[in-house]
């Protein structure tokens, strides 16, 4: 489920870059990140995004017994200064299962994943 509770007004702030200079950053409309630690950093460290939850399934583990684990949770993300052009536009990082991530899914990539899961 996409978190819709936090329709955030656009936020703009001055950001100092470690290697020198500064930038004026503005969150895209979907961003719910707090950016508490983004007033200074490496240029390409900045990300904007919103997390989305997935359903929790009771999964058995020999050492820990049965526990609820989220599946298909993720984040709509953008890395505005990344050297990879695919990461400079909004994309999905999908946590298929704990520690198992499909990174940088385009809308078409994400639709293919949804279709595969739905077909299964």
Tokens 């704990």 sit on residue? 98
Nearer to Zn ion, 11 or 69 (CB): 11
Residue 65 host element (H or E): strand 65-70
Structure tokens at 98: 């704990």
Least distance in angstroms from the C-beta of 7 to Zn ion: 13
Smallest gap from residue 45 Cβ to Zn ion (A): 13
Question: Can you give the binding site for Zn ion, defined by CB under 5 A?
Answer: 27, 31, 33, 48
Report the candidate in 88, 94, 64 with the shortest Cα–Cα distance to residue 76. Answer: 94
Nearer to Zn ion, 45 or 97 (CB): 45
* Distance, C-alpha 90 to centroid of its chain: 9
19 is written with which tokens? 């290697």
- Distance between CA atoms of 54 and 46, rounded to whole angstroms? 25
Of 27 and 92, nearer to Zn ion (C-beta) is: 27
Task: CB nearer to Zn ion: give 4 or 61.
Answer: 4
């Amino acid at each position: 489920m996409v978190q819709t509770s936090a329709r955030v007004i656009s936020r703009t702030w001055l950001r100092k870059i470690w290697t020198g200079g500064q930038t004026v950053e503005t969150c895209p409309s979907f961003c719910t990140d707090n950016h508490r630690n983004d007033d200074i950093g490496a240029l390409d460290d900045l990300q904007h995004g919103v997390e989305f939850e997935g359903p929790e399934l009771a999964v058995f583990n020999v050492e820990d017994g049965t526990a609820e684990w989220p599946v298909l949770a993720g984040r709509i993300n953008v890395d505005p200064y990344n050297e990879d052009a695919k990461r400079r536009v909004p994309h999905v990082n999908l946590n298929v299962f704990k520690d198992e991530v499909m990174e940088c899914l385009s809308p078409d990539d994400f639709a293919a994943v949804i279709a595969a899961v739905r077909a299964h």
